[in-house]
Homo-oligomer: A and B are copies of this chain.
């Protein structure tokens, strides 16, 4: 049985992983929860609590073995295994993600790009050629792709998601600004840049207002 850990904890694990790997590469053998917490920006207790969910343990009086824990987290997060992904929506954002080399470090490889727009279909993006969305089914089924990335406008996203799921995709990274309705067992991660921008915008707004207040 695989124990579920709380979502907030799960979100912090990649941060711990990154610092542990870095420390390991720099020749640091052990890191205390205090030190790791400093680097990630999380209290030491939180670090210990989070890591106590895992099978790999720390050593009292010494700390966590950087290499061992990094390796463990790598496996736990599945970063060591290759994961194919397809991307639908080859606009600016889609093309950028397809070209982003950083994802390779996390075991993800974008193997196909799709779009609806005839002007975009057939164009080259890095090593890939944008294909027609109508070909999605065939490609995904025979390539055994677990991940779908959606970078279409909001109107198209639901339809695309359903098509992806029909082809066996089980995890969706949704960059389009809308809620996807999916059945249980399908994992959706929303990456709503406009919503994030709104939060940023609110803070700028708030600062402006308080400046106005102070200058009165």
Instruction: List A residues at the B interface (Cβ < 8 Å).
Output: 2, 10-11, 13-15, 17-18, 39-41, 76-79, 81, 83, 92-93, 95-97, 99-103, 105-108, 146-147, 170-171, 173, 177, 179, 187, 189, 191-210
Contacts and interface: CB of A to CB of B under 8 A. Distances in A.
Contact of A102 (B100, B171, B191, B193): B193
Nearest to A75: B205
Nearest to A180: B41
A76 B18 contact: no
Given A40-B179, A108-B197, A193-B102, A204 B14 contact: no
A128 B194 CA distance: 22
Nearest to A12: B195
Contacts of A108: 197, 201
**Residue of A95, A101, A200 ringed by the most chain B CB atoms within 10 A:** A200
26 contacts: A2-B206, A2-B209, A11-B195, A14-B195, A15-B179, A41-B179, A76-B202, A76-B205, A77-B199, A78-B206, A79-B198, A79-B201, A81-B208, A92-B100, A92-B101, A100-B193, A102-B177, A102-B194, A105-B194, A106-B194, A108-B197, A147-B204, A170-B207, A173-B197, A187-B203, A191-B196
Contacts of A83: 201, 204
A28 B209 CA distance: 32
Contacts of A106: 194, 197-198, 201
A15 B195 contact: yes
